[in-house]
């Protein structure tokens, strides 16, 4: 083998090594992307389940047994959250939407590990539903933040619920 052939052989091995590295890197990135997409789909399903559960409750503590026609009769802005008779670790005891405020839970039903979530409930302005209200209104916004090891960021979902 001449020195020219030796240089060509070394160059060929070098380029083959680069090709193998690029294939491995792109395969690894693809696996991460697929896992991340699957986690987003799972988190979306979990959020929808949470919203359905929340919407199955009364709008407010004051609307459980009787209708309410004045917003000021609803639970106070700073009193949102579980009532004294409810158990913060057992959401099945919650009887109205705002009982879920500051609730922290975990869903481990998927094969992708634990999905940790936090629920926040607050009044919003009826003419600007993206803005929290400092007074009672007939419109509440539910925020669900979900985290998982395969999610690149915390996913945040919102739902408006009106009375």
Q: What is the mean pLDDT of each run of 10 residues along the chain (163 residues)?
A: 79 78 72 86 96 96 91 92 79 92 90 93 94 95 96 96 94
Any idea how long the chain is?
163
Widest CA span in the chain = 97
- pTM, to two decimals: 0.80
> Cα(97)–Cα(75) distance, rounded to whole angstroms?
11
Q: What integer pLDDT is reported at residue 28 of this predicted model?
A: 66
Q: Three-class SS of residue 102?
A: coil
Helices (H) and strands (E) in the chain, counts: 1, 5
DSSP secondary structure letter of residue 115: E
Q: Which two structure tokens, joined as six digits, stand for 161?
A: 């619920």
Q: What integer pLDDT is reported at residue 97 of this predicted model?
A: 95
> Cα(96)–Cα(53) distance, rounded to whole angstroms?
10
104 in Cβ contact with 117 (< 8 Å): yes
How many CB atoms sit inside 10 A of residue 129's CB?
16
Q: What integer pLDDT is reported at residue 25 of this predicted model?
A: 75
**Nearest 10 degrees: CA dihedral of 96, 136, 159, 98?**
-20
């Amino acid at each position: 083998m001449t020195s020219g052939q030796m240089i060509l052989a070394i160059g060929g091995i070098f380029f083959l090594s680069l090709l193998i590295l690029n294939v491995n890197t792109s395969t690894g990135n693809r696996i991460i992307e697929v896992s991340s997409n699957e986690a987003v789909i799972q988190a979306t399903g979990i959020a929808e389940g949470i919203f359905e559960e929340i919407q199955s409750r009364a709008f407010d503590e004051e609307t459980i047994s009787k209708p309410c026609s004045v917003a000021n009769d609803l639970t106070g802005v700073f009193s949102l959250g579980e009532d004294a008779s409810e158990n913060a670790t057992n959401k099945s005891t919650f009887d109205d939407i705002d009982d879920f405020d500051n609730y922290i839970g975990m869903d481990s039903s998927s094969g992708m590990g634990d999905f940790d979530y936090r629920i926040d409930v607050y009044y919003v302005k009826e003419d600007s539903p993206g803005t929290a209200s400092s007074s009672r209104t007939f419109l509440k916004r539910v925020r669900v933040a979900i985290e998982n090891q395969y999610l690149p960021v915390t996913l945040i979902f919102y739902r408006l619920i009106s009375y």
